[in-house]
Chains A and B, each alone.
Chain A
Amino acid sequence: MPRLGDVVRRISSKNAGPFWVTVDVFCGSPEVFEQVSKRLATPAVAALFQVPSQTLKRFDIPDLGVVKFSMPRPVVQGSRHDRDMHGAQLAVLLQEFDFQS
């Protein structure tokens, strides 16, 4: 099965302050955006990031062809059990997510 990262133009993630992290899926075309917007299920993304589905905020932005997810960081930035200070590797989980377009 193709992976989401192979279907879209780019997926990146970054802290939004020490307590939040945000993941942007840049789809690259209106067609891909429509597919991703329709078929990428929020609960599946929440499970992937291991956060409760109700804490995952989602923005589908057709003008930019972007689907954006924001969530409270599972561990606060820089706290004892944080493994990724900038939250930038989280995007990899979504890049490698199986996605049938």
Chain B
Amino acid sequence: MPTRVLVPAGVLGLGFQQAALDHGVAARPDIICIDGGSTDSGPFSLGSGTSKYSRGSCKAEWRALMQARAAAGVPLVIGSAGTCGTDETVDWLFDITREIAAELGQRLRVARLYSSQPASRVAAALAAGRVHPLTPAPDLDQGSLDSMTNIVALAGVEQMQAALATGADIVIAGRMTDTATVAALPLMRGEHPGGAWHGAKIAECGAQCSSNPTSGVVMVEFDRIGFTVEPMAKGATCTPYSVSAHMLYENSDPFRLYEPGGYLDVSEARYSALDSRKVRVEGARWVPGKYTVKLEGARLAGHQTTILAILREERYVRHAREWTEKLHAFLTEQIAARMGLGAADYTLEFRLIGVDGALGAAEHRQGDPVEVGVLGLITAASAETADEIGRLINPFVLHYPLTEDEALPTFAFPYSPAQSSRGAFYEFALNHVMELDDPMEAFRLEVTEIGNAKTG
């Protein structure tokens, strides 16, 4: 019996086509799987333990998926719930699930899989020589572990299988690999291991492996030899090219993918068109190895305040670099004189938008911009200090002259006040793996019955 996995989208919160989802449900899947997370937007989500996507978007989409689950009569699972997949964001989605269950009159068994790691567990593993750096890895010791606001371990298929074995209607999992969410059931049912992991990687971004990425929905059918992938949106197609090219996406190595307990090798994979929309894939290998889970951690690295001014006058546009360099030197003196702060206490950086804002030193083109945005980034240990520096520099950013013997210029501030507090600033602080003897030793499962069947 093949295993049919319906993947509604690459991530919860980005949208999918309802008609394509309905079509997928009608095609009788064995499970509905979606990913909820990523590090792609930066360290803030993990650092703060919050979702990147709005609650409203997630609730609207999760409701559609809960209705699809009820119609299909199969489990619905999400991995890396709430972007970062901390215990807090798992519970955040659980609260949303409870609300929807009440609104829809569904009675459900919900399994929550928790992936957050206490610093003490990682510290003990580090001391025992069971934490290993990947390349490149930040320095790691007890002090840096204690400074992290959140640490998560990426679960693999074993933990998701344990959650499915509870008979859950819905599994809300914390951080796990994108692929493990999809590969768990096919592997549990004995489908081809290389095919299960490979098909999971192809489907983890939903319809991105098809001609219509925004439609979201794909079905992957796994069997004992390989897998077949088909987009669910009307008119969308998968081709051997669109499917195989997806192995390139956000992957540093397009042939090898490391997962808990081994790696996937697709160097011998063959892709063939079954018809104008379906692609058949065989030949990937799963190579078992030591059981390790990847760790992600973020630490508070200060607080940030920004300021933005726009230079439009031609002479200032032409001399924008020289102007910001002079201004920076002047402000460094002022901050030292008025606040008693030195280089160790804060950083102030000006970036020239319109000149090299995106690429910095790697920029090689010179244009003739109409105007230049000067973005000042202030980072200091406390929000109060960053804001105070912002207020201190504000009048100079507005009026600083290029030369002494000229009338004071006044640049364009786009809003008042020109400085804005960005709040806490986080940094990624781990790129390591941790060895485990038992896949569940660093993860926790909780099963809850929620909702009430509608009466009358």
- Please indicate whether A and B come from the same complex rather than being unrelated chains: yes
User: Which residues of B have CB within 8 Å of A90?
Assistant: 359, 362
- B250-271, CB under 8 A of A: which get 1 and which 0? 1111110000000000000000
Contact A77 B43 (CB under 8 A): yes
Contact A50 B361 (CB under 8 A): yes
Contact A77 B428 (CB under 8 A): yes
- Selected contact of A63 from candidates B244, B347, B361, CB within 8 Å: B244
Whether, in the assembled complex, B427 has its beta carbon less than 8 Å from a beta carbon of chain A, the answer is: yes
- A1-33, CB under 8 A of B: which get 1 and which 0? 000000000000011111110101010000000
Contact B365 A96 (CB under 8 A): yes
Contact B248 A68 (CB under 8 A): yes
Whether, in the assembled complex, A39 has its beta carbon less than 8 Å from a beta carbon of chain B, the answer is: no
Q: In the docked arrangement, what's the CA distance between A66 and B242, Å?
A: 13
- B113-137, CB under 8 A of A: which get 1 and which 0? 0000000000000000000001111
Whether, in the assembled complex, B330 has its beta carbon less than 8 Å from a beta carbon of chain A, the answer is: no
Q: In the docked arrangement, what's the CA distance between A86 and B41, Å?
A: 7
Q: In the docked arrangement, what's the CA distance between A14 and B248, Å?
A: 10
- With A70-B252, A93-B364 already in contact, the answer to whether A83 and B245 are too (CB < 8 A) is no
Residues from 69 to 99 in A contacting B, C-beta threshold 8 Å: 70, 72, 74, 76-81, 83-86, 89-90, 92-93, 96
User: Which residues of A have CB within 8 Å of B135?
Assistant: 19, 72
- With A64-B241, A78-B42, A80-B301 already in contact, the answer to whether A14 and B250 are too (CB < 8 A) is yes
- With A64-B241, A83-B357 already in contact, the answer to whether A50 and B362 are too (CB < 8 A) is yes
Contact B253 A70 (CB under 8 A): yes
Residues from 39 to 71 in A contacting B, C-beta threshold 8 Å: 48-50, 57, 59, 61, 63-64, 66, 68, 70
Interface size of B by CB at 8 A reads: 41
Q: In the docked arrangement, what's the CA distance between A96 and B245, Å?
A: 23
Q: In the docked arrangement, what's the CA distance between A6 and B25, Å?
A: 43
Contact A64 B359 (CB under 8 A): no
Residues of B within 8 A of A (CB): 39-44, 134-138, 241, 244-245, 248-255, 301, 347, 349, 351, 357-362, 364-365, 377, 379, 425-428, 431
The 5 residue pairs across chains A and B that have the minimum distance between CB atoms: A78-B42, A70-B252, A16-B252, A78-B43, A89-B358
Supply 21 A–B pairs (Cβ within 8 Å), ascending by A: A16-B251, A18-B43, A18-B431, A19-B134, A22-B250, A22-B252, A50-B362, A59-B255, A64-B241, A64-B244, A66-B248, A70-B253, A72-B136, A74-B362, A76-B427, A77-B39, A78-B427, A80-B349, A83-B357, A83-B358, A85-B42
